[in-house]
Structure 1
Amino acid sequence: MTMTPSPRPPRRALVLVLWLLALLAGIAVIARSHFSTDLSAFLPASPDARQQVLIEQLQSGVASRTLFIGIDGADGATRSTISREMGRQLRAGGLFDQVQNGDHSDWKDAGEWVFAHRYQLSPAVRPEHFTPEGLRNGILDTLSLLGTPAGNALRPLLERDPTGEAARIAEGLIPATAPRTEGGVWVARERERAVLLASTRAEGGDLDAQERAIAAIHSAFAQAQRQAGDKAGTARLLLSGTAVFSVQSRASIEKEAIHLAVVGAIVMSLILLAAFASGRALVVALLPVATGVVGGTAAVSLWFGNVHGLTLAFGSTLIGETVDYAIYYLIQARQVGAQGEPGTGWRHWLRVHWPTVRLGLLTSVVGFAALVFSGFPGLAQLGVFSIAGLVVAALATRFVLPSLAPDGATGQGLRRHLARATGVIVRTLPRLAWPFAALGVAALVLVLWQGNHLWRAGLASMSPVPKAAQELDAQLRADIGASEAATLVVAFGGTVEQALQHAEAASLRLDALVNEGKLLGYDSVTRFLPSQRTQAQRMAALPTAEELRARLPEATAGLPLAADRLAPFVEAVQAARGLAPITHEEVRAGTLGPIAGALLFERPGGGWAAMLSLHTPPDFRHATVADALAGLPEVVVVEVGEALADVYQRYLHEAFVQVGLGALAVVLLLAAWLRSARRLFAVCLPLVVAVLLTLGGMALLGMALSILHLVGLLLVVAVGSNYALFFDELQRTGHADEDTLASLLLANLTTVVSFTLIAISKIPALSAIGQVVAPGALLALLLSAAFAGGWRGRRGLAG
């Protein structure tokens, strides 16, 4: 007795088990993955010196760890009470290395340390400062301050510090743009608002830690508000800073990704359910989509060690293409002809249609492969995600779907209507081939005329931070008097000592700008941690006790401060001569340690960097500082806006090159496969015109295009190549069965709908991709039908 071979795919159980194991492994990788949202992922992996400074600051610099806090509402006394209590709680919580709100009760130790080391820290300590004339000038300056508000603090120190070194150091440490003090805490200069500034211990890139710090601020405010009584009920907490933006962006991207996935799945399910009239077919159709998203995310995590939020959200865009594979199979694998044996539809699909789907997949992979080698990690992640997701989805379609639905989706649903609609399209549109071609030429002229102006959107266009949040951030920075963030000045060195010496050299030139009124001031670690060389010079300038006693009578002649009252001063100078040099380790271990850590830090690649934070007047010009510091070794001046613009232009140029190389690779692949110049032209023409018409439409609408619009164009080619190849197959065989026509229209419908949902997303980066792919994919189908008119009169399309 002979046994009839099973019509089902061989090794069905093995295929399903392997697929489930792979899916579970991918989910396990994703569960342990680290997700980030900072835009530094879209900065170059091999930056120049200026870009490296920018990247370091975005990833771990003080700017990435600083939070700006405001308290609005209630009355002034209540706001002050809340501010003091919040400051106390946040300092005790351990999540912040510094919390400043004008309450100096915790700075007593720092003040005593500065006073004890005043002769090592004061920039006035030079040999001429201790001549009779220099001493007299210093004493006169100190006496003149006794009648000011600071006089009460200076009077007890007069006999020990008559030359005012402590006052001079304090003046340098207090920012020129510091907020005013009211009720013992900081308040905004132009608003009824208490303000605080806090720096987290965790790096800016540790978003989980930043989220905990932000939650601690909200908790501290709520508790302080309760303790302040009934009057505090109207108080309102304001919070901003880079960390706030990053955490909010992550939450926004995650929320939007889930929203898009849910809405997209519902809409897609309704379309597929109507098309297949089968719940089972619907579930089977979504399996390659889920497999592709899991595979793409896991591949990025394994390759890069983290997954950017935009990459994860980009997964929703794969629904538009990966579901096409399932649609092609479920519709095209139905039993063909009267001789068809039940359970063999998958064999027919593998023999007739799989080669075309496989070629479409290869063109997509080749196109996206160019992004993998990008010098921008974010762009490389999109490339890896796309390739892995598409390949995994295609493999699931090729091996898993035949095991679950050997004859595809046997229910009719709307397929017959879809086939008829497609038949009308393919019989009608070829008459418009020349008008479409003319429109393509016109679009090309418009795009070339617009040139670079068309691609004028910047790196910030990918940020999901709303305008209102940016305006609040600017307000709080101004209220607190934060240093000017648009210009970065950094001194480098292989050691701490070298970095400090280079920072001191920069400080001398910045001092000149302050004296000229071109700068209000600046912050530098060298104010409380001078280089060893500078400390040695200052110690060498201190006179002996005998020399100082001999000079004081002449210096104090005729002054209300007699020389015989200054014995404590002589003793202090003598004691200072025996002090050990201040070291980096000593400062880091003290109260000033957090400030030192913010301004002096070890670089990720080795060496040290000292940051000089500028306080600028309203008419400040970046070129003023750049020109003043020009020529100094190991000192870099970065204009953040200009640096970001340079990075983005490099980013855009590289992306154009890579997309161009990807397009060339696709053409070469098609040429090798089709082996016909005519067929190659027929496949490529609708894709080229679809891209041109999409760009032309955006140019007419005045849209500013970004790098992600360019990625969207690559997706148009990836999706559209499937349509063009199927029409090429129909033209070659001359047979257009209902199932193939229905699968093309349904696949296009799901793609356009999914990308339309993405186009209205609140995340600008996703919206940019959807704005391109939704119209581009529709045009790709219509143009493929229009330019494939050479076979419309053949059999299969006569009616």
Structure 2
Amino acid sequence: MLVVCALILASQLLRGAPLDTRITALLPETDGTERLAQADAKLSATFEQRFMLLVAGTTDAESRAAAKDLRRRLDASGIIAAFDSQSPARPDRLLAPYRYRLLADDLTHDDAQAWRQRGLSRLFTPGVDSDLSRDPFGLLDAWLGERFSGPLSWQDGSPSIATAEGQWSLIGATLTASPYAMAVQRTLTETIAEFGAAHPDVRLLRAGLVFHAAAGARQAQQEITTIGLGSLFGILALLALVFRRPIVLATLLLPVATGLVFAGALTWTLFGSLNLITLAFGASLIGISVDYALHLQCARQLHPARPLSRLWPGLTLGLLSSLCAYLVQLATPMPGLRQMATFTALGLIGAWLSVRLWLPLLPLHPHSATQSIARRLNRLRLTRRHPGLYAGVGLALVAAIALAIGQGSTSHDLRQLNPSPASLIDQQHRVQTLLERPATLRYLLVGADSSEALLQRLETLTPTLAELERNGHIASYQHLAQAVPSMATQQANLARVRQRYSEALAGLLDDAGLPATLEDRLGAPLEEVPVLTPATWLESRAGEADRALWLEDTRRAGGTPSALVMIGDVDAAGQAALTRLAESDDVIYRDRVQALSAQLADLSDEILQWLAVALALLVLTFGWRYRRRAWRVLLPPVGAVIITLGVFAAGHIPLTLFHLLGLLLVLGIGLDAGIFSTEHPADPGAWLAISLSCASSLLAFGLLAFSATPALHFLGTTCLIGLIATWCLVPLARGVVGQGPTADPTPDGQRLSTTQEIPRHGPA
């Protein structure tokens, strides 16, 4: 089975089967998900490989010179597919044939006298390029000035933004490869660092996914070097200190590797893809599956003559209890939760099978140090009854429950999981503010039966959006109908232009002293005017920025055409207004951060609910097997979870999804500790294995509490508190060793007394 799984996994990796990195792939499908997924994919494909840099020197000339040098360095780096144009983006030549169908709002409401006055002003104003033969009233200039005005200006062949603190020169570019490619990140970072060293007085602002990805990669590398290697060396040193044999260390890692291969291959095959979050959560196999090997090795080291048949019931029950905790989650509507549960369950099965079938066949290499350590550690036990101690622990658990219920809270804001440095987030926001461009975090998804109906629907939304912008409730909005009016609007504009020509053109020629014979020639182009279509606009260079706003893919897939209305920053009133707009069947409001946060909250709620179901099933199972001793099994896992929740509530730390995933890990390790402390209460080997399990898991996961990555920090903090609590509660679960039914019989049928110790030397 393992060979087949290894071949499946190897084939997946060799053929380059991609890992799914989308968090949304783990969340449940809702109404409109397919269209929203297409919209998100279109935005990602358009913007994820782009980045922008703003350069400012002490003078305007220095800014332009520094920007040219940086552009030259980037061009020589080989990672740039294309730079943004260095010339104005006003599409005068493209839109010239359609000028009579494109009417600015001011000209729409002006009468014939105002049109005539506008024509005269343009004709006799110095510096105004008036094309009397084609556009005597300046229709195209008015349209472009209204639709394409912005903060950018072009000086010396370079786009720039003038601010109170000086001029910023803009460099926009598209990468040749994914922003997650390490080579691209490294080259871009080095190029910008070299530029900064050559221009120490120049300020630089950055915006783009590649910078956030590079910052995350740097942070991950640093933490792998510090926390990752530290935990690895710590675990190896701990196990080496106890077992003193390299072969034993290898046997402890074998179940972990077996579980990962088993789970990875089968989960990838069952689900068709493997999400990175599933893979990260599956790392809990290290903390749980190694328990099986630890218990087996400790039993063989300390009791080489004892038959292993006494160990298998505890190991089997530990596996079944963990499977129960995970497999009940298969009933949830969350695809991600089902995938994570399947991965973990399969991994535990694979690890358990290797411990059950393989490890007993490997040669035994005991060391006297192992027995010495077990004997000393076994002194940490209760030698007499302590009613006050149990009462105190009970009161502490009740207080923790009260705190968790009264002061506990949750938080699922996706922004708190952002590992990017605050300075980089501020730079991104400032670049968007200076460019007056909305971010891709909020949009309206609008659908209609045809492209024409869709443009008309966008036009009906414009008055409401414009009013929200004027009142400061939204920072900006952008949709395709601002650049390409509907055919109905273009036809109405053409009719109005023809009327104004008939009313104002003769007077304009007369006031300008031009011959009246020009009237027929100037009015002739109005007879046949082409219609501007979305396809014409989007295929042009000027329309590149709008391509993400028009979703033709939905129509080709058999759906209705859709369009996006990008929305800038929104306040509470704007949020409410946009939500009201989305009450229509053809409009969906999407706040990508808020929507993802809400779905993460749903996922967390599902985990809590099914965790409660799993605990109920475990109580029934342990009650059936252990009767009145069931509380001893449940005390370490449940008590540790309660204490952890109480600590978070007392510290006013809201729970996130990653806190809950950490609680699942604590519950799994705690269940094994409770089972083995109840099955073998007087066995020093069981107590040694439990201690090693908690210690190794603390090193593997508890050190993540010091991570600067929020998700890992939350997971690590939970494990740090929960695993310490688990280890501290196990002596209470063992009870007073040597008294009552909790004592562990020796191989010859006698019972160990509370003071009896194992031999100081190993077997001959």
Range into which the TM-score falls when normalised by the shorter chain: 0.7 to 0.9
TM-score normalised by the chain length of structure 1:
0.80
1:47 aligns with 2:39: no
For residues 346-383 of structure 1, give each alpha carbon's deviation from its aligned partner in whole angstroms, at most 9, with x where no partner exists.
xx22x111221122122222212244555455544433
How far residue 117 of structure 1 moved from its aligned partner, in angstroms, is 1.4
- Quick one: distance in 2 between partners of 1:233 and 1:421? 60
For residues 36-63 of structure 1, give each alpha carbon's deviation from its aligned partner in whole angstroms, at most 9, with x where no partner exists.
5454446x33134599748843774455
1:679 aligns with 2:661: no
1:759 aligns with 2:705: yes
Q: Which amino acid aligns with 1:664?
A: A
Aligned counterpart, 2:452: 497
Aligned counterpart, 2:356: 398
Choose the corresponding residue for 1:750, options 696, 699, 706: 696
Choose the corresponding residue for 1:666, options 618, 631, 648: 618
How far residue 414 of structure 1 moved from its aligned partner, in angstroms, is 3.6
Aligned counterpart, 2:289: 322
Q: Which amino acid aligns with 2:346?
A: A
Provide the secondary structure at the position in 2 that maps to 1:71.
Answer: strand
- Quick one: distance in 1 between partners of 2:526 and 2:112? 13
How far residue 234 of structure 1 moved from its aligned partner, in angstroms, is 5.5
- Quick one: distance in 2 between partners of 1:554 and 1:719? 91
How far residue 482 of structure 1 moved from its aligned partner, in angstroms, is 2.0
Choose the corresponding residue for 1:264, options 231, 243, 248: 231
Provide the secondary structure at the position in 1 that maps to 2:129.
Answer: helix
Alpha carbons 2:412, 2:601 under 8 Å: kept: no
1:115 aligns with 2:96: yes
* Superposition map of 1:711-726 within 5 A: 711-726=661-676
1:245 aligns with 2:219: no
Provide the secondary structure at the position in 1 that maps to 2:381.
Answer: helix
Alpha carbons 1:72, 1:236 under 8 Å: kept: yes
Provide the secondary structure at the position in 1 that maps to 2:206.
Answer: strand
Quick one: structure 1 residues 299 and 715, their matched pair in 2 at CA, closer, same or farther if it must change by over 3 Å?
same
Quick one: structure 1 residues 707 and 612, their matched pair in 2 at CA, closer, same or farther if it must change by over 3 Å?
same
Alpha carbons 1:68, 1:241 under 8 Å: kept: yes
For residues 715-767 of structure 1, give each alpha carbon's deviation from its aligned partner in whole angstroms, at most 9, with x where no partner exists.
11111111111122135xxxx23323322222222222322222222322122
Provide the secondary structure at the position in 1 that maps to 2:446.
Answer: strand
Aligned counterpart, 2:587: 635
Aligned counterpart, 1:15: none
1:786 aligns with 2:732: yes
For residues 52-104 of structure 1, give each alpha carbon's deviation from its aligned partner in whole angstroms, at most 9, with x where no partner exists.
74884377445555533222557533432454576799899999898547x32
1:273 aligns with 2:240: yes
Quick one: structure 1 residues 520 and 324, their matched pair in 2 at CA, closer, same or farther if it must change by over 3 Å?
closer
Q: Which amino acid aligns with 2:707?
A: S
- Quick one: distance in 2 between partners of 1:375 and 1:196? 47
Q: Which amino acid aligns with 1:471?
A: D
Alpha carbons 2:677, 2:686 under 8 Å: kept: no
Aligned counterpart, 1:510: 465
Quick one: structure 1 residues 168 and 740, their matched pair in 2 at CA, closer, same or farther if it must change by over 3 Å?
same
- Quick one: distance in 2 between partners of 1:530 and 1:93? 41
- Quick one: distance in 2 between partners of 1:231 and 1:712? 47
How far residue 268 of structure 1 moved from its aligned partner, in angstroms, is 0.9
1:104 aligns with 2:111: no
Provide the secondary structure at the position in 1 that maps to 2:378.
Answer: helix
How many residues were matched structurally? Answer: 738
1:167 aligns with 2:141: yes
1:552 aligns with 2:552: no
How far residue 450 of structure 1 moved from its aligned partner, in angstroms, is 0.8
* Superposition map of 1:363-442 within 5 A: 363-372=321-330, 374-405=332-363, 407=364, 409-427=365-383, 432-442=389-399
Aligned counterpart, 2:486: 531
1:689 aligns with 2:663: no
Alpha carbons 2:400, 2:646 under 8 Å: kept: yes
Provide the secondary structure at the position in 1 that maps to 2:163.
Answer: coil
1:479 aligns with 2:434: yes
How far residue 270 of structure 1 moved from its aligned partner, in angstroms, is 0.7
Give the % identical residues: 22
Quick one: structure 1 residues 483 and 257, their matched pair in 2 at CA, closer, same or farther if it must change by over 3 Å?
same
- Quick one: distance in 1 between partners of 2:2 and 2:439? 55
Provide the secondary structure at the position in 1 that maps to 2:589.
Answer: strand
- Quick one: distance in 2 between partners of 1:359 and 1:250? 41
Aligned counterpart, 1:186: 160
Q: Which amino acid aligns with 2:754?
A: A
Provide the secondary structure at the position in 2 that maps to 1:703.
Answer: coil
- Quick one: distance in 1 between partners of 2:166 and 2:274? 42
Provide the secondary structure at the position in 2 that maps to 1:612.
Answer: strand
Q: Which amino acid aligns with 1:76?
A: D
Alpha carbons 2:130, 2:136 under 8 Å: kept: no
CA RMSD of aligned residues (A): 4.1
Alpha carbons 2:506, 2:519 under 8 Å: kept: no
Q: Which amino acid aligns with 1:778?
A: I
Q: Which amino acid aligns with 1:134?
A: D
Unaligned runs of 5+ in 1: 1-17
* Superposition map of 1:557-706 within 5 A: 558=511, 569-576=522-529, 579=530, 581-602=531-552, 606-614=559-567, 621-623=573-575, 625-626=577-578, 629=581, 634-639=586-591, 642-671=594-623, 674-706=624-656
Quick one: structure 1 residues 86 and 307, their matched pair in 2 at CA, closer, same or farther if it must change by over 3 Å?
farther
Q: Which amino acid aligns with 1:163?
A: F
Quick one: structure 1 residues 28 and 519, their matched pair in 2 at CA, closer, same or farther if it must change by over 3 Å?
closer
Aligned counterpart, 1:798: 754
- Quick one: distance in 1 between partners of 2:206 and 2:608? 39
For residues 389-434 of structure 1, give each alpha carbon's deviation from its aligned partner in whole angstroms, at most 9, with x where no partner exists.
32222222222322333x4x41232443234323432437965222
The more displaced of 240-249 and 754-763 is 240-249
Provide the secondary structure at the position in 1 that maps to 2:563.
Answer: strand
- Quick one: distance in 2 between partners of 1:161 and 1:75? 40
- Quick one: distance in 1 between partners of 2:468 and 2:701? 54
Alpha carbons 1:601, 1:610 under 8 Å: kept: yes
How far residue 448 of structure 1 moved from its aligned partner, in angstroms, is 0.9
Aligned counterpart, 2:40: 57
Q: Which amino acid aligns with 2:376?
A: R
The more displaced of 418-427 and 262-271 is 418-427
1:768 aligns with 2:714: yes
Alpha carbons 1:416, 1:738 under 8 Å: kept: no
- Quick one: distance in 1 between partners of 2:655 and 2:698? 20
Quick one: structure 1 residues 500 and 709, their matched pair in 2 at CA, closer, same or farther if it must change by over 3 Å?
same
- Quick one: distance in 2 between partners of 1:273 and 1:502? 71
Quick one: structure 1 residues 649 and 221, their matched pair in 2 at CA, closer, same or farther if it must change by over 3 Å?
closer
Provide the secondary structure at the position in 2 that maps to 1:185.
Answer: strand
How far residue 594 of structure 1 moved from its aligned partner, in angstroms, is 1.9
Q: Which amino acid aligns with 1:649?
A: A
The more displaced of 461-470 and 303-312 is 303-312
1:741 aligns with 2:672: no
Alpha carbons 2:632, 2:678 under 8 Å: kept: yes
For residues 4-47 of structure 1, give each alpha carbon's deviation from its aligned partner in whole angstroms, at most 9, with x where no partner exists.
xxxxxxxxxxxxxx6466446535534634245454446x3313
Quick one: structure 1 residues 387 and 664, their matched pair in 2 at CA, closer, same or farther if it must change by over 3 Å?
same
Alpha carbons 2:301, 2:370 under 8 Å: kept: no
For residues 489-528 of structure 1, give each alpha carbon's deviation from its aligned partner in whole angstroms, at most 9, with x where no partner exists.
3322354334322212212433455566766753221233
How far residue 534 of structure 1 moved from its aligned partner, in angstroms, is 3.4
- Quick one: distance in 2 between partners of 1:308 and 1:194? 41
Alpha carbons 1:314, 1:766 under 8 Å: kept: no
The more displaced of 472-481 and 89-98 is 89-98
TM-score normalised by the chain length of structure 2:
0.83
Q: Which amino acid aligns with 1:589?
A: E
Provide the secondary structure at the position in 2 that maps to 1:122.
Answer: coil
How far residue 558 of structure 1 moved from its aligned partner, in angstroms, is 4.6
How far residue 706 of structure 1 moved from its aligned partner, in angstroms, is 0.7
Alpha carbons 1:683, 1:784 under 8 Å: kept: no
Alpha carbons 2:479, 2:549 under 8 Å: kept: yes
Aligned counterpart, 1:69: 53
Unaligned runs of 5+ in 2: 744-750, 756-764
- Quick one: distance in 2 between partners of 1:426 and 1:55? 62
How far residue 242 of structure 1 moved from its aligned partner, in angstroms, is 3.7
How far residue 207 of structure 1 moved from its aligned partner, in angstroms, is 4.2
